């Protein structure tokens, strides 16, 4: 019996080792690079967590021009990749073609939900819900009643961010003015911090004292320009509060790190499933960021209001308009009732929750 048990255990270990040896993940980061302090870097954080936990090597490539996307994916497959993660909607056509040609390889892509391949996992996010929350915060923080939004490339996805933000602002303060601008109509709009700074300065010249960006690397210019003028910025995708501590009101978190980590981990464990995953507030796919870098900018009243809005969205009591549904953003929104302030016990509980979240983020950096 002992020999049988030992033999079975040895066989299981050998099978596990073989599976690990055969597992070869790959990631294709998009333009801007994996250290863009925004979307790509959020994905990298999830990849790094996977590497740190498993010790697995991950093949990677950073796209610098559009032609490289499909070339890089095919190269990864030729190198033996068993799962390929594409980063961003711009890789949709490439991954659709390569996945179709390689049915025995698993593929996943973030910010895409419309493809149809049996070996493809797709992730989409309810960015409008997270943007609503930071809109509430912006409306409450603004002293001028004028706030701004700087988008990257003018595409429906970014207008989805903008519309949710406008709704959050307007339903908190109907008298507020929201100035909106897009950086451009080509992929270069994602990586032009000089232009971002110019656009932010233009909005501040018109009275904006809080500016939210959804512009990738261009947004770094927005944050720095706003900080230089003593105004407030709102970051996006990753927690950007630390880029200019004391000048970033909050960041709209888009948990692409979770999507990346779950993709690689499930593939390694043989549990990869294709299909579309849509992540919003209820799924912890989006949120707002609170940490030591912005704790002096966010008071108890603001926390209470954002917390109430978050709960109401999850419960369905607040429906945030989704630009994807009709390609439009309503011209007007109705004012919401401002929630009562948190009790002392509620504030204590909230601080504990924020502390736990901060510990989690810090552990990801180690």
Q: Looking up tokens 């970051």, which residue turns up?
A: 235
Q: Is the domain of 27 the same as that of 107?
A: yes
Q: What's the whole-number average pLDDT of the chain?
A: 90
Confidence of residue 333 (pLDDT cuts 50, 70, 90): confident
| Contact assessment for residue 164 and residue 329, using Cβ atoms and an 8 Å cutoff | no
Mean pLDDT of 323-340: 79
Confidence of residue 354 (pLDDT cuts 50, 70, 90): low
% the chain with pLDDT above 90: 80
| Contact assessment for residue 235 and residue 248, using Cβ atoms and an 8 Å cutoff | yes
Confidence of residue 7 (pLDDT cuts 50, 70, 90): very low
Q: Is the domain of 39 the same as that of 143?
A: no
Residue 172 has pLDDT above 90, yes or no: yes
Q: Is the domain of 236 the same as that of 352?
A: yes
* Domain housing 348: 128-254+284-365
Residue 340 has pLDDT above 50, yes or no: no
Range with the lowest mean pLDDT among 17-31, 292-306, 318-332? 17-31
pLDDT at res. 82: 98
Q: Is the domain of 248 the same as that of 263?
A: no
pLDDT at res. 66: 86
In terms of pLDDT, which residue wins out, 283 or 3?
283
Mean pLDDT of 265-280: 96
- Among 279, 314, 340, identify where a domain stops: 279
Other C-beta atoms within 10 Å of 256: how many? 27
pLDDT at res. 249: 98
If 0-12 CB within 10 Å is exposed, 13-18 middle and 19+ buried, where does residue 343 land? exposed
Instruction: Please tell me the distance from the alpha carbon of residue 317 to that of residue 169, in angstroms, as a whole number.
Output: 17
pLDDT at res. 36: 84
pLDDT at res. 14: 42
Residue 328 has pLDDT above 80, yes or no: yes
pLDDT at res. 17: 43
Confidence of residue 11 (pLDDT cuts 50, 70, 90): very low
In the numeric block, which tokens belong to residue 194?
Answer: 């000089």
Q: Is the domain of 195 the same as that of 174?
A: yes
Residue 152 has pLDDT above 50, yes or no: yes
Q: Is the domain of 153 the same as that of 264?
A: no
Radius of gyration of the chain (CA): 22
Domain count, the chain: 2
pLDDT at res. 344: 55
Q: Is the domain of 322 the same as that of 190?
A: yes
Confidence of residue 173 (pLDDT cuts 50, 70, 90): very high
Q: Is the domain of 133 the same as that of 69?
A: no
Instruction: Please tell me the distance from the alpha carbon of residue 311 to that of residue 316, in angstroms, as a whole number.
Output: 9
Residue 366 has pLDDT above 90, yes or no: no
Residue 135 has pLDDT above 90, yes or no: yes
CATH number at residue 202: 3.40.50.2300
Q: Is the domain of 39 the same as that of 27?
A: yes
pLDDT at res. 351: 64
pLDDT at res. 355: 66
% the chain with pLDDT above 70: 86
pLDDT at res. 307: 96
Confidence of residue 246 (pLDDT cuts 50, 70, 90): very high
Sign of dihedral through CA atoms 63, 65, 70, 72?
negative
In the numeric block, which tokens belong to residue 152?
Answer: 């990257």
Range with the lowest mean pLDDT among 227-236, 285-294, 299-308, 350-359? 350-359
Closest by CA to 25, choosing from 77, 65, 81, 64, is: 81
Confidence of residue 331 (pLDDT cuts 50, 70, 90): confident
Q: Is the domain of 211 the same as that of 275?
A: no
If 0-12 CB within 10 Å is exposed, 13-18 middle and 19+ buried, where does residue 120 land? buried
Q: Is the domain of 222 the same as that of 84?
A: no
In the numeric block, which tokens belong to residue 71?
Answer: 């070339």
**pTM for the full model?**
0.82
Residue 178 has pLDDT above 90, yes or no: yes
If 0-12 CB within 10 Å is exposed, 13-18 middle and 19+ buried, where does residue 123 land? buried
Q: Is the domain of 149 the same as that of 243?
A: yes
In terms of pLDDT, which residue wins out, 346 or 238?
238
Mean pLDDT of 70-77: 97
- Among 228, 244, 279, identify where a domain stops: 279
Where helices occur in the chain by DSSP H, the ranges are 2-22, 39-54, 68-78, 92-101, 127-141, 156-172, 193-205, 218-228, 256-268, 300-315, 323-326, 344-365
Other C-beta atoms within 10 Å of 39: how many? 28
Mean pLDDT of 103-123: 97
Residue 77 has pLDDT above 90, yes or no: yes
Mean pLDDT of 313-323: 96
pLDDT at res. 261: 96
């Amino acid at each position: 019996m002992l020999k049988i048990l030992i033999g079975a255990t040895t066989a299981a270990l050998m099978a596990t080792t073989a599976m690990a040896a055969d597992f070869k993940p790959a990631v294709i980061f998009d333009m801007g690079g994996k250290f863009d302090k925004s979307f790509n870097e959020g994905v990298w954080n999830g990849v790094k967590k996977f590497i740190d936990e498993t010790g697995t090597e991950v093949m990677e490539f950073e796209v610098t021009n559009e032609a490289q996307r499909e070339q890089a994916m095919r190269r990864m497959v030729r190198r033996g990749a068993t799962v390929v993660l594409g980063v961003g909607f711009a890789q949709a056509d490439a991954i659709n073609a390569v996945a179709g040609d390689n049915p025995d390889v698993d593929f996943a892509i973030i910010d895409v939900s419309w493809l149809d391949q049996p070996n493809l996992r797709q992730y989409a996010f309810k960015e409008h819900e997270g943007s609503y929350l930071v809109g509430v915060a912006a409306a409450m923080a603004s002293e001028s009643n004028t706030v701004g939004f700087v988008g990257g490339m003018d595409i429906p996805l970014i207008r989805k961010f903008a519309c949710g933000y406008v709704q959050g602002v307007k339903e908190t303060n109907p008298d507020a003015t929201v100035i909106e601008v897009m950086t451009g109509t080509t992929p270069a709009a994602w990586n032009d911090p000089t232009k971002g700074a110019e656009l932010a300065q233009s909005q501040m010249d018109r009275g904006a004292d809080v500016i939210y960006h959804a512009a990738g690397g261009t947004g770094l210019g927005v944050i720095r320009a706003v900080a230089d003028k003593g105004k407030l910025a709102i970051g996006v995708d990753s927690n950007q509060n630390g880029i200019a501590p004391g000048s970033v009101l909050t960041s709209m978190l888009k948990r692409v790190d979770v999507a990346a980590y779950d993709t690689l981990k499930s593939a390694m464990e043989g549990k990869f499933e294709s299909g579309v995953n849509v992540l919003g507030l209820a799924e912890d796919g989006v949120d707002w960021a609170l940490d030591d870098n912005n704790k002096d900018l966010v008071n108890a009243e603001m926390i209470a209001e954002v917390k109430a809005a978050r709960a109401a969205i999850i419960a369905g009591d607040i429906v945030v308009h989704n630009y994807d549904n009709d390609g439009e953003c309503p011209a007007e929104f109705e004012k919401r009732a401002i929630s009562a302030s948190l009790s002392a016990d509620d504030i204590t509980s909230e601080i504990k929750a924020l502390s736990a979240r901060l510990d989690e983020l810090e552990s990801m950096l180690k």
